[in-house]
Amino acid sequence: MASRLGRKGLGALKVVHVFFISAWVGCGVTMLFLLALVSATSAPFEMVRAIHILDIGVAVPSATGTLITGLLFSLMTPWGLFKHRWIVAS
């Protein structure tokens, strides 16, 4: 069964999906480093504010983008959403 997106469409969707995943993971790692610096600095309020801005500005949109592109993968390819148990489990 062929993909409904075609070869170029599937490739573009993969690029967008990997971009969102990378932004989400990178933001999470950055927030962890900032959280570690909160106790080491004399200005914890600014660090917590920076973490909040990263969370609202980067993590939430990239997590939403990852979810949307993942759903598009399941709907627009032969893999489906419930066809394989490992896709449902993840």
pTM of the prediction? 0.80
- Asked if 51 and 31 touch (Cβ cutoff 8 Å), the reply is yes
**What percentage of residues in the chain have a pLDDT greater than 70?**
88
- Asked if 75 and 36 touch (Cβ cutoff 8 Å), the reply is no
Which pLDDT band, with edges at 50, 70 and 90, does 36 fall under? confident
Residues 6 or more apart whose Cβ sits within 8 Å of residue 26: none
Q: Is the pLDDT of residue 5 over 50?
A: yes
Q: What angle do CA 88, 27, 37 make, to 5 degrees?
A: 130
- Asked if 72 and 13 touch (Cβ cutoff 8 Å), the reply is yes
Q: Is the pLDDT of residue 76 over 90?
A: no
> 42: which 2 tokens?
């004399």
